[in-house]
Amino acid sequence: MKFKNGQIISKQRFPSPNPAIELSVVTYQANGLHIKGLLAEPKGEDLYDGFLYLRGGIKNVGKVRPSRIVQFACEGFIVFAPFYRGNQGGDGNEDFAGEDRQDAFAAFTLLQEHARVKRVHIFGFSRGGVMALLTAIEFPQAVSIVTWGGVSDMFLTYVERKDLRRMMKRVIGGTPTKFPERYKYRTPLFQLEQLQAPVLIIHGKQDHNVSVEHSYRLEKRLKALNKKVDSWYFPDYTHYFPPAVNRKTVEDLGAWMKSHE
């Protein structure tokens, strides 16, 4: 049987930490590959906005956490979080915002075609920031984008994160000096002219995983292009916010998303 991009191939129930939210591990199609992801659906028949959750990290670093996905679903969204190719039983190999962006693109389509989804927002955390921006560029019908502690510039990541250089050289296929085009391909700052949706930037100024400079560069470029952008900078916080602040920020960003038509 031939499947289309974003088409669900199988769906298996997964234990949910909240009785009002149904969780499922979904296998879906992305450019010929079978990719896995986690779907959170508020119970009932009501329609909701879709929320594409694009995680950070690579492989087992930054895995999708069911409790986090349910937290966003509790704000009144149907949430889908792809694991990206090569993870948790999915086909292929993750390549750090290279061709694995197709997994995000197909996931956006999956939400668009969900019977209970009205419209789709995009959220990216950490490395998911570039994935979110690339997906929004690909799908101008995205209603809004939130990037939280998000990467915007792969050249800057290579410079700042000495601990990631070996992985980046292996996955991307070399250094930014030798293969600048490969890093440019993964850096949405060069393609923001095509972005339509409003953007919300959230970043802790003490972040040592993804420096706040990524968000400053993104905000500056968006403003230069007269794009809609809001920014919430937190002077005292790192890549990970304290639980109470985290909960409040999730509520606030959910309200921000829903305020956009």
Q: Indicate which residues carry an active-site annotation.
A: 126, 239
Secondary structure of residue 1 in the 3-state scheme: coil
Give burial (CB, 10 Å; 0-12/13-18/19+) of 261. Answer: exposed
Strand partners, 14: 23
Residue spans of beta strands (DSSP E) within the chain? 8-14, 21-30, 33-42, 48-54, 77-82, 117-125, 145-148, 199-204, 229-234
Strand pairing of 117-125 and 199-204?
unpaired
Integer Cα distance of 91 and 200 in angstroms: 32
Written as one string, the DSSP assignment of 113-142 is: T-TTEEEEEEEEETTHHHHHHHHHHH-TT-
